[in-house]
Amino acid sequence: MNRLGNLSPPDFEDICRDILQAETGQRFSAFGAGADGGVDGRHSKGPKSTILQCKHYLNSTFSQLKAALKKEVPKIDLLKPRRYIFLTSQSLTPARSDELADVLGDRLKRPEDIWGAEDIEAALKRHPDIEKAHLKLWMTSTAVLEKVLQSGLEAHTAATKAEILDELRVYVRNPSFDAAFVKLERHRVLVVSGPPGVGKTTLAKMLTYHYLNDDWQFCAIRSLDDGFAKLDEEKRTIFFFDDFLGQIELDRQALVQRDGQLARFVKRVRASQNSRFILTTRAHIFEEARRLSDHMDEGRFQLSKFLLDVGQYTRSIKARILFNHLAASDLNGDHVEALLQDDWLKKIVDHPNYNPRLIAYVTAECPEDLEPSAYPKFVFKTLENPALIWAKAYRSLSMRCQNLLVALYFGNQYRQSIEVLRENFNALHYKICEHYSQPSKPEDFEEALKSLESGFVAISGNQVRFVNPSVRDFLKEHLSDGDFLRLLPTLCVRAEWAQNLWNHLKYTLQTDPDKLRALAQAFFYFATKLSQIPNFKKVKLEQYNYWYRELDDLAIADRGSLLLDLFEHSGDRDFLDAAISVLKSDTLEVDASRDSRELPELHWRISSFVDDDVDGKEELLTAVKAVLMTAIETGVPMDELVAVNDAIAEHLGDAIDLGPIEDAINSAIDYEFDEISERISDLSSESQLNEHLEMLEFIAQHTGRSAETAKRVVQEKISEIEVPDYDDYQPSSRGQNSNPDAEFSDKDLESLFSTFSK
């Protein structure tokens, strides 16, 4: 298949201009309709100008191509260029080239100024950097597609080869790509941030394709633990962490779990020339994270931020995105023709809610019975109210499918294992069906999951997540029915699910404290079970035949915080008894990292907001202190010792006798300093050791302790390391030569879409 066939007409024009610039050394300006009558490129003006004309007529007959060229003759006579160059994606025999030359007559100054597909392909071979700059040329080859599919990137996004090609056909490269690529190469870390639907994940994927084509490995991570496990400084690896700060909600407690790890991982990546790290997040969440985090804005944690927002789409880029989606769609020609009438194109391209996700939806999800004349209003109405995208689809779902989405929504913000999702679904679904007198059957979970895959959820291995963050946005606003919400507190089976449900209820009922109080009370039955629901699970690393334990549900501190919150909203002191049971539970295990950082604040909240005459207050405070001691003695990670020390100083202060707690912290620091040889025994790279050295200095600065002896041990080990002789990586990607339009007029807009006119 001719790979030029993967290009839209505007893509073809871009490539032709780049080729002519490389071949002639002249810079060609791009412009559309107006005084120049749709000519596709021009060098200089007036009688010394060089004009190029591009005809992407690959699927047309030669007769149609010849007829189109005849229509250009009057325009050429009007412009009177010194030189006229004609390029087409059609294959031209010598005889056909002569026929086209006859049409042009003496307007053609030299025979070689007529280019067919073979001439364009030959030029691309002479200028491989042009091919590299145009993703659609090389990404469509079978070899490259197989490489991408085998890399794991598309397994992560559950895409097929056909879907990759579909995505490429509608992709429009814009200045964001080049700016992102430069920043990624300069810093080795890139945060793509922007509003929902602007193309953050698409940009990240397109960047990743370039590295894959240069034989880098791909690693999609869903947690920083995944990243640390797969970080190998001898292998060129590009890490991809999509929506790394979570989907919607962000609070200080949630961020505390991640920012320290993120700081360490970023340092490791930036110290390794064989690693690149791309993260995506929403702009408002990133800004909130910077406000809340201990690390995000610190000078020592220079997290490169690249903001991609819809404002960076020029009018020309927006128009081309719409054009490509229409060209690749299955829409009836009459529907597309209707968009060309009146001012609909202007209203769509210039709409304040314009974004690529909405354009993809309105060009792919047109109702079958929608009359062509009504299509422009359908597009405009969707832009006016983006929530309609998911609302209509959601209403058409069966109850089992809706219940599965609800179960997923209140689960882990990133993803859920199929086993956990099934557990949450079963607890929810059958009771909901019974309440609303709807039928149910044992295979409802499997059937719902199968029905929702690709449309609403994505499945990767054993993990299920929403196919798009906007699904979660929709559910956040949609799940507000009081009758339905009243059922949910009694259907919780996991602590994390209950916490997410409670947070949602606080958001939904923030203006109705009486209803919120009643719903808080409805959690009591589940609260009595919280002390017996395990928070850790055993996990086996098959390749090492090794078992370890990891946190699988809310930590002790988080359970205590949830129960205290329910007490504050309900006034029912039985929730305090449930909290005491959690803190004294033999079933629950301490999470040294999480509990040691969060329990000081829980102690402060109880001390400050629970009245002294409330039975059980002192017992609760004593239990918090006991678990805090256990957490510290269990072993706080080195990079979190300072944060734990600060949390204790901030929230406990003079409230209690800190002697035993301070002794435990000092013992942990002594271990880090005195047993330094053991602590660094498994560190083998210079970057890891330098990171450890920085952490020793950081702890010393914040605690007033001397780390000189420990630092010498680390420095000696660094001096013994032989630095590998890596080949410098020279990225093959380059910016496109085609300069973006300074302005894109209404006539330019009409000209671009004129190919759709009958």
**Helix/strand/coil (H, E, C) string of 496-507?**
HHHHHHHHHHHH
Range with lowest mean pLDDT among 102-116, 226-240, 338-352, 736-750: 736-750
**CA proximity to 464, closest of 418, 404, 500, 412:** 418
**CA proximity to 188, closest of 277, 259, 281, 302:** 277
Range with lowest mean pLDDT among 35-39, 430-434, 609-613: 35-39
pTM, rounded to two decimals: 0.71
Contact between 490 and 469 (Cβ < 8 Å): no
**CA proximity to 625, closest of 604, 609, 646, 639:** 604
Give the pLDDT band (50/70/90) at residue 248. very low
Predicted confidence (pLDDT) per residue in 484-499, tens digit: 999 999 999 999 999 9
Give the pLDDT band (50/70/90) at residue 34. very low
**What average pLDDT does the structure give for the chain?**
84
Element holding 84 (H helix, E strand): strand 83-88
Predicted confidence (pLDDT) per residue in 111-161, tens digit: 999 999 999 999 999 998 888 888 888 776 666 667 666 666 555 555 556
Q: Which amino acid is located at 755 in the chain?
A: T
Tell me the average pLDDT across 256-285.
Answer: 77
- Return all residues near 504 (Cβ < 8 A) that are at least 6 apart: 410, 476, 479
d(CA 604, CA 602): 5
Could you state, in order of their start, the residue ranges of all structural domains in the chain? 3-130, 139-312, 315-386, 389-493
Tell me, which fold does domain 139-312 have in CATH?
Rossmann fold (3.40.50)
613, two tokens: 């005459």
Neighbours of 462 (CB within 10 A): 12
Tell me, which fold does domain 3-130 have in CATH?
Trna Endonuclease; Chain: A, domain 1 (3.40.1350)
Residue 631 above 80 pLDDT? yes
Q: Write the secondary structure of 228-265 as one string of H (helix), E (strand) and C (coil).
A: HHHCCCCCCEEEEECCCCCCCCCCHHHHHHHHHHHHHH
Angle, CA of 201, 206 and 208, to the nearest 5°? 95
Element holding 460 (H helix, E strand): strand 457-460
Give the pLDDT band (50/70/90) at residue 35. very low
> Which residue's structure tokens are 């390749």?
543
**CA proximity to 8, closest of 424, 469, 422, 320:** 320
Q: Chain-centre distance of CA 710, in angstroms?
A: 40
Rounded to the nearest 10°, the torsion over CA 391, 395, 396, 402 is 110
Q: Which amino acid is located at 74 in the chain?
A: P
- Return all residues near 739 (Cβ < 8 A) that are at least 6 apart: 29, 30
Range with lowest mean pLDDT among 44-58, 170-184, 385-399, 610-624: 44-58
Q: What would you report as the CA-atom Rg of the chain, rounded to the nearest whole angstrom?
A: 31
Predicted confidence (pLDDT) per residue in 543-590, tens digit: 667 788 888 999 999 999 999 999 999 999 999 999 999 999 999 999
CATH code of domain 389-493: 1.10.10
Residue 740 above 60 pLDDT? no
The DSSP result for 290-326, as a single string, is: HHH-SSTT-TTS---EEE--GGGS-HHHHHHHHHHHH
